[in-house]
Amino acid sequence: MKRYIIIFSLLATLMATAGDVPRIYINPGHGGHDSNDRPTPFYHAILCDTITYYESDSNLLTGLSLEQYLRSNGYETAISRTGNTSDDDLDLYEIVALAANSGADLFYSIHSNATGVKTRLNYTLSLYRGYHGSPIVEGSDSIARATIKHLQANQATVWTHNPITAGDWDFFSNWGYKTGLGVLRYNKVPGMLCEGSFFDYVPERCRKLNADFCALEGWNQALAINEYFGNKGKNKTGIVAGIIRVNSERVDTAYCAFAADLLQPANSVVVQLCDKKKRPIRYYTTDRLNNGFYCFTGLEPGKYYVRLEQSDTMHAVTVRRNQSTYCNITTSPIP
Ligand SMILES: [Zn+2]
């Protein structure tokens, strides 16, 4: 039933098409909370409980955010799923067929990465069909490069390595001659698969439990897509995001952490966004999921200040149209 609904909505989108507005087919990877969803149970030191991260959840939050931002930019979209049941977990070839039938100008598959070994990493990986620098569909390497540029500019995280963009036939050369990624195998339009960051790096996994952090990835993907299409988007706003940390060792020391992730994220603190006259206009309370993440979206360009409710210190930020501004704050331990 779900598939008929998807096909119907695609037909409706086709009929509604006018002019040469680019159409993007979004594929939030996996679905259904089953075994191919790489379920990852882990002990959460703040919740004092074992919880399970599913890649399909964060992929969907990112994909829905990307869809929303693209539409508000004036782009047309279609998406392979908006739910997270087994029925939403479409066969890879069906996804390719739906994308082709949608008349998409760009195919964009959203995933999160894992090393599969004990070595912990965090960086953005963009893959397209073909060999390095020789995509099978022209333009696929361009959107892959724009993606790593905008995603790895995210400072509300910690990166351990430089981003990578590659052709899947080279990247997975041990899979066999011209095997590569199934979801890109029969794709005929410029397309790519984005592994936004690594969920098996536990500080990143804690960030990916925050819906707004996932939405930020979707926003940054929208910036990349907008750049790929020559900045045709109509969006006039920007965002401010960051991480609030406490100047002490993080509590979940059992897990690997690097650089600023060695500090404890600030849980349940109130972050204020103030206007240029330093008057509070927006508030964000960080969650209890041990990430310290905050984000203010839909901001008119201009000068703002970020401050913690518990502090008088004002942190000046400048918001620009179609850009992400980051402001990380490290505070004294909260008494
Ligand atoms: Zn995946």
* CATH number, domain with residue 252: 2.60.40.10
- The pLDDT confidence band at residue 7, using thresholds 50, 70 and 90, is very low
Rounded distance, CA 60 to CA 65, Å? 8
pLDDT band at 36 (very low <50, low <70, confident <90, very high): confident
Q: How many domains does the chain have?
A: 2
CA nearest 244: which of 310, 313, 292, 302? 292
Q: What is the rounded CA–CA span in Å between residue 168 and residue 304?
A: 42
Average pLDDT over residues 246-250: 95
Q: Which of 96, 281, 121, 268 is nearest to 193 (CA)?
A: 96
Nearest Cα to 194, choosing from 221, 213, 171?
A: 221
What's the CA-to-centroid distance between 63 and ligand 1, angstroms? 13
Host domain of residue 295 = 238-331
Distance 61 CA to ligand 1 centre (A): 14
Report whether pLDDT(331) > 90: yes
Same domain for 242 and 218: no
Tally the C-alpha atoms within 13 A of residue 244's C-alpha that lie toward its C-beta.
29
What is the CA(113)–ligand 1 centre distance, in A? Answer: 6
Measured between alpha carbons, how far is 63 from 217 in angstroms, rounded to an integer?
Answer: 9
CA torsion, points 27, 31, 36, 41, in degrees to nearest 10? 120
Centre of ligand 1 to C-alpha 328, Å, is 29
Strand-strand pairing, 164-167 and 329-331: unpaired
Ligand 1 mean position, distance from CA 36 (Å): 8
**In this structure, are 262 and 212 located in the same domain?**
no
Q: Cα separations (Å) of 25 from 169, 227, 280? A: 22, 17, 39
CA of 296 relative to ligand 1 center, distance in Å: 28
- Give yes or no for a contact between 187 and 105, defined as CB atoms under 8 angstroms apart: no
Tokens describing residue 243: 């991480």
For residues 253 and 220, state if they share a domain.
no
Confidence category of residue 19, pLDDT binned at 50, 70, 90: low
* In contact, 165 and 90? CB cutoff 8 Å: no
127-136 as b/e: b if 16+ CB within 10 A: bbbbbeeebb
Ligand 1 center to 109 CA (angstroms): 9
- Segment among 6-15, 78-87, 268-277 with least mean pLDDT: 6-15
Both 204 and 93 in one domain: the answer is: yes
Ligand 1 centroid distance, CA of 218 (Å): 16
Give a yes or no: residue 221 inside a domain: yes
Asked whether residue 158 falls in the same domain as residue 275, the answer is: no
146 and 282 fall within a common domain: no
Instruction: Indicate if 125 and 194 belong to the same structural domain.
Output: yes
Query: Taking 50 as the threshold, does the pLDDT of residue 85 lie above it?
Result: yes
Q: What's the mean pLDDT in 100-115?
A: 96
Lowest mean pLDDT of 12-26, 46-60, 106-120, 167-181, name the range.
12-26
Q: Does 126 have pLDDT greater than 90?
A: yes
Domain co-membership, 131 together with 48:
yes
Residue 18 CA to ligand 1 center (angstroms) comes to 34
Which pLDDT score, from 0 to 100, does residue 117 have?
79
Percent of the chain with pLDDT over 90: 86
Instruction: Please give the distance, rounded to the nearest whole angstrom, from the Cα atom of residue 236 to the centre of ligand 1.
Output: 32
pLDDT band at 222 (very low <50, low <70, confident <90, very high): very high
Q: Are 231 and 223 in contact (CB under 8 A)?
A: no
Q: Mean of the pLDDT values across residues 97-104?
A: 94
